[in-house]
Amino acid sequence: MNSPATDAAPRLLAGKAEENMLTSFFVLYKTARILEQNNATFKSRLSGFYEIFKGLASEHSRISIKIISGRYFVNEQMVRFDDQGLSGAASVVAEWKMLGVAGAHIESSVTLEELSRFFTFISAMRPSEENIESLSGKLKNHGLPSIQLLSFKEVGSEVPFENKEVRQKVRAAARTTFFQAVSVVEEVVLSAAKDKGINASKTRRVVHSLIDHITRDESSLIELTAIRNFDDYTYAHSTNVCVYSLTMGVRLNLDRPRLSQLGFSALFYDIGKVKLSTDLIRKPGAYDEDDWLQMQRHPHLGAKTILRNMKLDVHTARAARGAFEHHINNDFTGYPSLRYQQRAPDLFSKVISIADTFDALTSGRVYLKKAMGPDVVLKKMSYQMKVKFDPFLLKLFSNIIGIYPAGTLVLLTTNEIALVLTNNDTDRSRPYIKIVGDEKGLLADPLWTDLSQLEHAGRKIARQIDPERYGLDLKSFVLEDK
């Protein structure tokens, strides 16, 4: 049975199948510009597209491809799509704009031959020659009633995913998934503390729910990592590290089995701490030398705990290695020290190390004096890149976090206070936000605002703010449905 998060998400953002179809569509489009219909490469790419299309069309009467405000949609689902990459879609869409074309409807009954004639026809379009009215007429004359070109008027300019009600559903689904993960971590830690068997199947299920949500909308989960005032932050910390790690894994294009292994490893990487003194873990002040010597035992203890309490398989092996290596630096310093062979840490260990360090420093955990802002932490980590972190992975992580991470409170130039919800990939200084207060106080009805839209050009982010300094409860802003 699917989780609520899994049930809700497919209606909001597209998955891998839609992304593959969109890529295949534009690759085939560009192929048709240079190759004839009887060419073997054209036929192969046509067959590939048709196979992907039929897989999606089995559940729909037709498939729609739309471009709205620079974003790509398949059947109302927004697709995370690199239009500058292999497909070269950006140049095609630029020409479509001049023709007035904003997408196409393709009926599920379309044949392979009809698609072949369509791509040959549409790839011959040139901006100076046609417009959408004449093109639509020619499509019918070509005997292609199963395919309809869409104008900008038909498609509209509102991005469906930026609708307030839809975003509320996304955030609600994210909360369900996130707190399921926190609950599973707590259950695992309590079992490990008593040397009881760990329910690996339950853990894998929640990891797959996280993967499903991140592949469709990473920001709504990253927003939840900003919450710090949990009753016991230990469990939320592991969940945060899992969310960050899986987001990096998705950006690295890891396949689902490896994402599952990465998420599993990220939930268990710190489990060795259950074997340490509670007084040490919860010590309010700075650690002395003896405290650090004790703390440095937890990677070794973690690997032993995982191997002792779980059935040995690839997930367990990867998790044990992640637990053992997550404090071994890029230059082999750190702990535990490798006495004999200096073997580079595993990719998963490097990813987890970055996620763990960032979350620890931004949360102000018990053995730190105080939390640091995300921008300060990323700058601090960048200074340590050559020694501690993989430079490529740290750059990738910095891109995910952005200038103003989801879950950050910011002050606008209009003296309004807002919660950042989603980064805008084209201009990270102008994210999608929820305005929660102004000079008069907190708003009864928060204002959901896309700063990238022209009507909000007068609003700009002045700076990040510390919610505690202003007596604000960040957790309430993140969790409220308004």
Residues 24-51 have pLDDT tens digits of 999 999 999 899 989 999 999 999 999 9
Considering only residues 458 and 131, tell me which one the structure prediction assigns the higher pLDDT: 458
Considering only residues 105 and 82, tell me which one the structure prediction assigns the higher pLDDT: 105
Residue 76: pLDDT band (50, 70, 90) is confident
Q: Is the pLDDT of residue 71 over 80?
A: no
| Predicted pLDDT of residue 10 | 37
Give the residue carrying structure tokens 């067959």. Answer: 47
Across 63-72, 273-282, 323-332, the highest mean pLDDT is recorded for 323-332
Q: Is the pLDDT of residue 1 over 70?
A: no
- How many C-alpha atoms does 478 have within 13 Å on its Cβ side? 25
DSSP code of residue 283: -
| Predicted pLDDT of residue 5 | 35
Q: Is 458 exposed, middle or buried (0-12, 13-18, 19+ CB in 10 A)?
A: exposed
Cα-flanking dihedrals φ and ψ of residue 155, to 5°? -80, -40
| Predicted pLDDT of residue 353 | 96
Considering only residues 124 and 266, tell me which one the structure prediction assigns the higher pLDDT: 266
Which residues 6+ apart lie within 8 Å of 285 measured at CB?
none
| Predicted pLDDT of residue 193 | 85
Considering only residues 478 and 199, tell me which one the structure prediction assigns the higher pLDDT: 478
Tokens representing residue 347 in the block: 């990719």
Give the range among 227-236, 318-327, 328-337 with minimum mean pLDDT.
227-236
| Mean pLDDT of the region 176-180 | 94
| Predicted pLDDT of residue 2 | 37
| Predicted pLDDT of residue 468 | 81
337, 186, 175, 7 alpha-carbon torsion, rounded to 10°: 100
Residue 9: pLDDT band (50, 70, 90) is very low
Query: Are 354 and 381 contacting, i.e. CB atoms less than 8 angstroms apart?
Result: yes
| Predicted pLDDT of residue 6 | 35
| Predicted pLDDT of residue 302 | 93
User: Rg for the chain (alpha carbons), in Å?
Assistant: 25
Tens of pLDDT, residue by residue over 129-160, are 667 878 888 887 888 888 998 888 888 765 55
Which residues 6+ apart lie within 8 Å of 141 measured at CB?
none
Tens of pLDDT, residue by residue over 338-355, are 776 667 789 999 999 999
- In whole angstroms, how far apart are CA 346 and each of 165, 172, 241, 312, 328? 42, 34, 16, 18, 10
Query: Are 389 and 354 contacting, i.e. CB atoms less than 8 angstroms apart?
Result: yes
Tokens representing residue 167 in the block: 């975003």
Question: pTM of this prediction?
Answer: 0.72
Tens of pLDDT, residue by residue over 244-254, are 999 999 999 88
| Mean pLDDT of the region 372-376 | 88
| Predicted pLDDT of residue 8 | 35
> What is the rounded CA–CA span in Å between residue 22 and residue 52?
10
Query: Are 280 and 291 contacting, i.e. CB atoms less than 8 angstroms apart?
Result: yes
What is the amino acid identity at position 480? E
The alpha carbon of 235 is separated from its chain's Cα centroid by a whole number of angstroms, namely 21
| Predicted pLDDT of residue 75 | 86
